Each structure stands twice: as C-alpha cells, then as structure tokens.
Structure 1
Amino acid sequence: MRAGQKVGIIGLGGLGQMGTRIAVLQGASVFVAEKKEQIWPLAKELGADGVAGDIAAFAGEQLDVIIDFAGFGTTTAAAIETVRDFGTVVQVGMGRLSAELPTGTLVFKQVTLVGSRSGTVGNIAAVYDLFATGDLTAKISPITFEEIPDALERLRKGDVDGRFVAVYP
C-alpha cells in the first residue's frame, strides 16, 4: 500500500490491529470491518477513518486494497464485491479453508486476488523499525503453556483481543 490509498481491513484481531496501524502510518485512509462492536473504539484509536460491521458498508469509498484478516469466505466475497474496479484483495485469514467467490464480479471488475502468508525481508524489517520507534505496538496477552488449551478455546469462540504469547515461567 502507498500513501493516499484507501485501504479496507477485515478483522481487527491481532494481525488486523497491526495492519490497520501500519496502513495509517504509511499514509493510507483506513476503513475497518469488524463484527465485534465492543472493539470499534480501538479501530479509531489506531487511526481508522471508519469502522463498521461489514466491509460492504464502505462500498462508496472506492477502496484500492482490502486485506481480509478474517478469511471466512463470506468476508472474501464481500471484499471482492466492495473493492474498486481494478482493486486488490489480499487474503491473509483462514477462518474457513474454502470459499464461494463471486467470479462474475472478480472478472468484470478485474479484481486482483492475492494470498499472503508473510512479507518480504524488507517488509518485516520495516515493521521492526515501527516497533523500535514506538509507532507500532502489539496488544499481547502472555500465557503459560498450561493455559494454551484454554487460549485456543477462546480463539475459537472469538473471545480474544490481540495476540496470545506463550511464555516460559
């Protein structure tokens, strides 16, 4: 993404929070879709220009890029429907491992759909630089190894705000 672009973020979990903040720091206008209304204020704190329960709420914004950190199939389909003509949808989340996509929209709008599991070495170095300056922080919850099963259950239920980090005692 580049300064001046309009970026959509789907899912304000741990990665979505970082993606939102990085996009803001890069000079993008950011619009967040998050089902859990109780964390909508966090999107604003991170610098988002708008937040709603569904990315389709931002269809009029002509989003250049939408990054789907949720990946529930329906979220990916909504991203394809919402992104501007010739826009890009980046699939990161894997809430479901398959999806039914609106191929007519994909073709007629000439949307680029890209999967991503990580960035380049340069991308990662740039993120570390943002951490070093304090412009980017990660919301983490330290847990012990014994707490991992409970943490996984909380993740499954969608009852997590940020990232779990297992620590040695």
Structure 2
Amino acid sequence: MALSIRGFAAQSATAPLAAHTFERREPRPDDVVIDILYCGVCHSDIHQARNEWHNSIYPMVPGHEIVGRVSAVGNQVTRFKVGDAVGVGCMVDSCQHCASCNAGLEQYCEEGATWTYNGIDRRDSLPTFGGYSERIVVSDKFVVSISDKLDLKAAAPLLCAGITTWSPLRHWKIGKGSKVAVIGLGGLGHMGLKFAKAMGADVTLFTRTADKEAEARRLGADHVVLSTDEAQMAAVTRQFDFILDTVPSPHDLNPYLNTLALNGVLCLVGLLEPIEPAVQAAMVVLGRRSIAGSAIGGIAETQEMLDFCAEHGIVSDVEMIDIQDINHAYERMLKSDVRYRFVIDNASLKKAG
C-alpha cells in the first residue's frame, strides 16, 4: 500500500513552504525505502519552489541532497540492506538504454533523467517528491552508499554541490601538477577548493571579496586573487589549466579567459542563463582555449566521489536547521549568508504541525 509521508511543500510560486502530507508509491521489487536523516538545501530548490525556471509542478516537495538509512528493500535488491547509510542525489531514474546512460552518465539521458523532485515518474506518471520529507522510495540503481566514516549530515551536500564540482575535475583529469582556479566561494566553490586540493592541484580562488583569503586557504586554496584588482588579474595571465566557474548569475568571462594557459578550459557549473557580456572570441581562438559546461554527475561517478571523500575525510561545511526554518534559510541563501550549505535535520519534521 502507498506510504503516507510528512514533509514540507510549496503550494504555489508565491506561497512559503509549509507542512504537507502526501503519498509515496508502494515499493517495487527493485526499490529501496529510505528513512531520511538529513537533506541539504540547494539554490535550485529556491528556483524551483518559486517557478523561476518556469517548469514547476505543485505541490512541490524540494530536496535532492538526501542522506538516510535503509528501512526496507524490495526482493530484487542485493546491494543494500536495512540499516545501511545511503544517499540520493538529483536523479531517481533515467531511460537506462541511451548512449549517455550506457556510459554511466545518466544526468545527460537523451530521453531526460527523472529528477528527484519536480519530475514525473517514468513508470507510473506520478509526480516525484524530494527530501524535505521523512521517507523516500527510490530504485536501487539510483541509490549510493555512504561510508560511516563520514559525518552523515555534512555528507548530504555531496549529493549535489559535491558531485557538481567533482565530475568536471575528474573529466578534465585534474591531478598533481595541474593549475586550477575556482571562481566563487559558496556551496559549490568551497567543494571545488577541497576536491582540487585533494587531487594534488595547485589551487587558486578568484573572489570579489578581499576578506575571504584566510577562509579560502583553510578550504584548500594555495593562492587568492581579487578579481576586481587589475594588477592581480594581470599577474595570473596565462596561468591556469582549468577554471571551475561556480557563479550562478551572468558575469563577464573575458577577464578569466585571459588567465587560461594554452589549451585551458573554463567550465561553467553554476550558470544556466545567457552569457553576458559577450565573450571576445579572440580570447578563445588565440589560446586554443575552451568554454565548457558540466552538470552534476552519473551514479557511478557519485559513488566514486563518496568513496574518495571517505578516504580523504572530505565533507561540506554545513549549518544545521530545522525544517520549520526553511523559508528564513531561503532568504539567507539569497544574501549569501551561509557557510556554505544549509542542511535540514529531518527529525524536526516530527514537530511540524
């Protein structure tokens, strides 16, 4: 029978999130039922709850940085057992037969991945609901294992902020001897610094805020460049093999392109809007430089990242909140008033009226 679940939902683009009861599907033979312990709060949750991407389905239960423990498994499930610490990220299904899926890159599914929330289940055509809730039911193919070596609450943002930065760093083979820069020090940027440093790269943070140097060095930066200082920017001309750009709003890429070495790559992971102002093509052509993009990561990549994190002791820097404080947390996020990711303690749902 279907499961009655407590959660928090947006009922419209203008309504604050509030307590909401809804139904999860009856578990299928390949499903894992997860009691959610923690759920990270991603900036995309705000975009979706407020219909800023013009595709929102209401009522909407956000949340795609989910960590919990298995409470039941279907009779076809062999990789997980009751009590296991597990995670669910941005996807809960894909076609599983296109070229992207066969390559383990389900996020680029040619038929479209099924998103953890604000999606439509491809088997029963019902809406998907996310991790701002007490329990979730997910196909075992889209569940990942989390080592108990990791602080589970601080591991939650690895399921989005972590994999979003890990995937491009791995794809472009960042390692010992690489010169990497990260633009922006937020939920994504702080993970980019940690990963690039752990991979052995020489790491620079580009920031517009002069007082972030000590914090950036704590997180793994070897150098900090104030991007508004022309002399500092000139000093790093043609320096970097790879730039990870985590800024979510339109900004001028040209000054950063000038800091790429021959064959260098600037990879966008935060921006989904048109690039403004226009890119000066000479910046790209005359250095055989590339502007690229990357979206989250596949399930195998995500497991690889989590195993790397367990080996190297890497988690996100988090601030814990109760679910009842989610609307205030959204307002703080819009002011960049969090270091560096809010995580919901889902036990607080028991207090929801």
Please name the residue that 1:24 is paired with: 197
Please name the residue that 1:98 is paired with: 274
1:89 to 244, 262, 266: 266
Q: 1:50 to 1:98 in 2, by over 3 A?
A: same
SS in 1 for 2:262: coil
Cα distance in 2, alignment partners of residues 49 and 165 from structure 1 = 28
Q: CA deviation at 1:27?
A: 0.8
Q: 1:116 to 1:5 in 2, by over 3 A?
A: same
TM-score (norm: length of structure 1): 0.86
Q: Cα deviations across residues 25-84 of structure 1 (Å, max 9, x unaligned)?
A: 111000001223333212111231101221836624610000001144335333222211
Please name the residue that 2:213 is paired with: 40
2:324 to 109, 124, 146: 146
Q: Does 1:137 align with 2:310?
A: no
Cα distance in 2, alignment partners of residues 28 and 74 from structure 1 = 26
Q: 1:153 to 1:66 in 2, by over 3 A?
A: same
Q: 1:60 to 1:135 in 2, by over 3 A?
A: farther
Q: Cα deviations across residues 111-168 of structure 1 (Å, max 9, x unaligned)?
A: 1111111134443223212332353121011222332222222222222221112232
1:52 to 201, 219, 225: 225
Q: 1:167 to 1:102 in 2, by over 3 A?
A: farther
Cα distance in 2, alignment partners of residues 50 and 57 from structure 1 = 15
Cα distance in 2, alignment partners of residues 146 and 19 from structure 1 = 30
Code of the residue aligned with 2:189 in structure 1: it is: G
Q: 1:122 to 1:80 in 2, by over 3 A?
A: farther
RMSD: 2.2
TM-score (norm: length of structure 2): 0.44
Unpaired runs of at least 5, structure 2:
1-173, 349-353
Q: Does 1:65 align with 2:242?
A: yes
SS in 2 for 1:51: strand
Judge conservation of contact 1:10–1:75 (CA < 8 Å) in 2.
no
Code of the residue aligned with 2:335 in structure 1: it is: K
Q: 1:58 to 1:11 in 2, by over 3 A?
A: farther
Counting matched residue pairs gives: 168
SS in 1 for 2:258: helix
SS in 1 for 2:303: helix
SS in 2 for 1:74: coil
Code of the residue aligned with 2:274 in structure 1: it is: S
Unpaired runs of at least 5, structure 1:
none
Please name the residue that 1:124 is paired with: 302
SS in 2 for 1:64: strand
SS in 2 for 1:153: helix
Judge conservation of contact 1:76–1:91 (CA < 8 Å) in 2.
no
> Which of the two has greater helix per residue?
1
Q: 1:23 to 1:75 in 2, by over 3 A?
A: farther
Q: 1:155 to 1:138 in 2, by over 3 A?
A: same
